[in-house]
């Protein structure tokens, strides 16, 4: 049973989330208390020692990030509740920090709780929060991605990724330092995560970092040479889109 608290400055949001946790997750989550400000939330967390905090991003004159920064140790999981703009939501995704978009939906609450129960451990939460802060501060610059593997979590700069290759329900990520990371996620999931950051899916089995292409070779679809000396086939239906991105 997960012990939870809610921190949100809008009473109707607290009531809505409380009702959903009671109606749909009562066998998995025990709601200990709720707080309406950063000032109330910090001592509440220190007193109750929750397993998970449902944390609003924007609260009056402070944010959920302010609350996390004021804690000397983050030994609980965080699920943000937010109506925040796109880039911040993308930062949550890169950092493997879960979030619920307002108005909160019951199905999303159940999914987040189930994902939390299946997670590897809370030991990496501080590093995930650090990654989140890094990404929020570097909106247009270098971003860091959190990658869950069989033996833990790797934190990788997306600019260090050369390409991602599909292996059925797994994806192999090739890095500039010659490391390879195998992840139990489909290539489509990485396509959605990386497509806005100079990555392009050139084939059903490959996503590439456009900055890491050395040469395009003509052909029906053609091929591309990457900086790691790999030769990647380009699908004929993706050729035009690739050339438009390269030119």
- Same domain (yes/no): 95, 177: no
Indicate whether 144 belongs to any domain: no
Indicate whether 146 belongs to any domain: no
- Same domain (yes/no): 58, 118: yes
Indicate whether 153 belongs to any domain: no
Average pLDDT over residues 114-123: 68
* pLDDT higher than 70, residue 230: yes
DSSP-assigned states of every residue in 148-181: EETTEEEEEEGGGEEEEEEETTEEEEEETTS-EE
Average pLDDT over residues 102-108: 93
* pLDDT higher than 70, residue 127: no
- Same domain (yes/no): 114, 206: no
CATH of the domain at 183: 2.40.50.1020
The total number of structural domains that make up the chain: 2
- The mean-pLDDT minimum among 18-27, 115-124, 200-209, 237-246 falls in 115-124
CATH of the domain at 119: 3.40.50.2300
- 96/90 Cα distance (integer angstroms): 10
Strands 170-175 and 180-183: antiparallel
- Same domain (yes/no): 130, 201: no
Q: Using alpha carbons, select from 189, 20, 202 the residue that is nearest to residue 113.
A: 20
pLDDT, tens only, 167-187: 988 999 999 999 999 988 899
- Same domain (yes/no): 18, 125: yes
- Same domain (yes/no): 101, 168: no
Average pLDDT over residues 92-121: 81
Indicate whether 149 belongs to any domain: no
- Same domain (yes/no): 131, 186: no
Indicate whether 145 belongs to any domain: no
For residue 111, the enclosing domain spans: 2-137
pLDDT, tens only, 73-87: 888 989 999 887 654
- Same domain (yes/no): 15, 132: yes
pLDDT, tens only, 136-149: 666 555 688 878 77
Q: How far apart, in Å, are the Cα atoms of 104 and each of 97, 99, 112, 124, 146?
A: 16, 10, 11, 26, 25
- 173/169 Cα distance (integer angstroms): 13
């Amino acid at each position: 049973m997960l012990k939870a608290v809610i921190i949100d400055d809008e009473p109707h949001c607290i009531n809505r989330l409380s009702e959903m946790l009671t109606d749909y997750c009562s066998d998995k989550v025990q709601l200990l208390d709720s707080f309406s400000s950063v000032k109330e939330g910090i001592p509440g967390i220190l007193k109750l020692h929750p397993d998970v905090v449902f944390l609003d991003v924007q609260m009056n004159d402070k944010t959920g990030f302010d609350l996390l920064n004021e804690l000397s140790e983050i030994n609980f999981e965080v699920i943000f509740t937010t109506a925040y703009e796109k880039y911040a939501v993308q930062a949550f995704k890169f950092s493997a920090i879960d979030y619920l978009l307002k108005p909160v939906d019951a199905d999303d609450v159940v999914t987040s709780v189930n994902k939390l129960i299946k997670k590897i451990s809370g030991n990496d939460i501080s590093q995930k929060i650090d990654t989140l802060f890094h990404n929020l501060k570097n909106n247009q610059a270098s971003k860091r991605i959190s990658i869950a593997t069989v033996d833990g979590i790797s934190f990788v700069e997306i600019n260090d990724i050369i390409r991602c290759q599909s292996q059925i329900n797994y994806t192999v990520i090739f890095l500039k330092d010659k490391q390879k990371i195998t992840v139990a996620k489909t290539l489509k999931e990485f396509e959605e995560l990386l497509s806005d950051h100079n990555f392009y899916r050139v084939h059903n089995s490959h996503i590439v970092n456009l900055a890491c292409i050395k040469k395009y070779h003509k052909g029906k679809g053609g091929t591309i040479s990457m900086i790691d000396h790999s030769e990647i086939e380009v699908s004929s239906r993706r050729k035009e889109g690739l050339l438009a991105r390269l030119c």
